[in-house]
Amino acid sequence: MSKFIEEIEEFAKIDCYRHKRAGKPEVVLAENKDAKEVVEIIRGYLKHVNSVLITRLKTEQIDELRKSFDKVFINEKGRVAIVGEIKKEKIGKIAILTAGTSDIPVAE
C-alpha cells in the first residue's frame, strides 16, 4: 500500500496526504456508509488534517457525528458537515444560483 494511503479497518482506504499534494483535503462521501464507518473514516483523516468535510449525510450519521465529535458544524438541509476546526478566511466572492426550491439542499 502507498505511504499516502491509510487503511481504516477493513472498509476504507483514505488518501491522508491529498491535502499536501492538491492543497485541499479529501471530502468524505457518507452515502452508502453506515454511521460507524463515517466516524472511523473521519477519525483517520483528523490524524492528518484539522477539519474534514462530509457530504450526503443521513439522519443517523448526523446523530452519530454529534455524539462522537466536540467540534462539528452540521447543515441538515444541505446534508453536509464539517468536523474539526473551521478556518474562516475571505479569499474571494462566489455566486450560487438555483432554479427552484428543489435546488436549495444543493445550494446549502
What was the pLDDT predicted at 108? Answer: 81
Tens digits of pLDDT across the chain (108 residues): 567 777 787 877 877 777 778 877 788 999 999 999 999 999 998 988 899 999 999 999 999 999 999 999 999 999 999 999 987 888 888 888 888 888 888 888
pLDDT at residue 62, rounded to an integer: 98
pLDDT value of residue 97:
84
pLDDT attached to residue 49: 87
Q: Are the C-beta atoms of residues 42 and 15 closer than 8 Å to each other?
A: no
Q: What is the pTM of this model?
A: 0.81
Domain enclosing residue 102, as ranges: 5-107
Look at residue 2 in the predicted model and tell me its pLDDT.
66
Question: Count of domains in the chain?
Answer: 1
Q: Which of 74, 48, 46, 43 is nearest to 61 (CA)?
A: 74
Number of CB atoms found within 10 A of residue 34's CB: 14
Return the pLDDT at 24.
77
Query: Element (H or E) spanning 104, and its range?
Result: helix 104-107
